[in-house]
Amino acid sequence: MKTPNHYVVKWSDDRKQARVFDKQEGYSLDLTLLKYTSIEFCHAAFNVADILNKGESMYVTGRPLREYDPDIRELEIDPSLLYIDVGAGLGEFIPHVVRCSKGQAKVRPIAIDPVNYELMQRMLVYAGILDVGDQMKEHLKILIDRCEIMLDSTKVQLIKSTLEQSLNSNSHLQGVADVVIDNAGANHYAREDHEHIWKLEKQLLKPNGRLFSEVVKSSGIYRPPN
C-alpha cells in the first residue's frame, strides 16, 4: 500500500514508538511497540484534534474489558437490555455486548462518540503495513475489528456526536437505556463538574436504569449513586 500524501509517519530514534499523522483530519495514531522490549506491552491510541471545541486535543483509547472499572467489566450482559456507552472510543465494551448478545439481541447497543471511526479504521489498516512487529499487528487487527463492529448498523446504533449534542438533537434517546456506562469517556474530558455529566447521562436511563461511571480525580474516586 502506498503512503497517502496526507499521512506523515514518524519513528522515535529507538524505534519503539511510531506516529501516523493525518494532516488533513488532524488525527494522530500513536503506537508503542513491544517488539524491542522484554515486557509485554503494546499500545495504540489516537490523539485527535479539537473535535469538542474546547481548544484541546483528546485521546481515543481502546481498553480491553479487563481494564474497565470492575463494576462495568463484571456486568452480566442481558441481551434483552439496552446498553449505552458514552465515549465508547475503541474500547471493548460495545463489542463485548454485541458478542454476548449474538443471535439473541432484542435491541442494538448504542455508542455515543463524536470520533470518526471510518478514518480511524483506515489509519489502523495503514499502520498494519508498517514494520511494527507481529504483536502490534495482532493488536491493530483487534482495533480494526472494533471499528467494523461500531460501523455495522445491524449490530450497533452509533451516534456520532457528543453526549450534550446527542441529548439536544435526539429526543428519542431520553429514558431509553437500561444501563449507561462511561469508562474514561465524556466525564473524563468534561470541564464541568462530574455531577453535571452524570445528570445528563441519567437522562438516557429508564426509571429503573443504572449508570456506571468511575471518575478519578486528585481528590478521590467518585461513582454516581444508583
188 binds ligand SAM per the rule CB under 6 A: yes
111 binds ligand SAM per the rule CB under 6 A: no
Whole-angstrom distance, CA of residue 127 vs CA of residue 106: 36
143 binds ligand SAM per the rule CB under 6 A: no
- Beta-carbon contacts of residue 38 (< 8 Å; ≥ 6 apart): none
Whole-angstrom distance, CA of residue 27 vs CA of residue 114: 13
185 binds ligand SAM per the rule CB under 6 A: yes
- Considering only 116, 121, 183, 213, the residue that binds ligand SAM (CB under 6 A) is 183
Within 90-109, the residues that bind ligand SAM by CB under 6 A are 91
Q: State the nearest-atom distance from the C-beta of 54 to ligand SAM, in Å.
A: 9
Beta-strand ranges (E) seen in the chain are 7-11, 17-22, 27-32, 43-48, 58-60, 83-86, 110-112, 157-159, 177-182, 205-213, 215-217, 220-222
In the complex with ligand SAM, which residue's Cβ is closer, 11 or 189? 189
189 binds ligand SAM per the rule CB under 6 A: yes
**Do 214 and 221 contact (CB within 8 A), yes or no?**
yes
Which of the stretches 71-79, 132-140, 182-190, 211-219 binds ligand SAM when contact is defined by CB under 6 A?
Answer: 182-190
- Considering only 84, 88, 98, 105, the residue that binds ligand SAM (CB under 6 A) is 88
Q: State the nearest-atom distance from the C-beta of 14 to ligand SAM, in Å.
A: 26
- Considering only 32, 61, 135, 157, the residue that binds ligand SAM (CB under 6 A) is 61
Within 1-60, the residues that bind ligand SAM by CB under 6 A are 52, 58-60
- 186: which 3 cell numbers? 465524556
3-state DSSP percent of the chain in helix, strand and coil, to 5: 30, 25, 45
Rg (CA), the chain: 18
- Beta-carbon contacts of residue 74 (< 8 Å; ≥ 6 apart): none
- Considering only 89, 95, 109, 224, the residue that binds ligand SAM (CB under 6 A) is 89
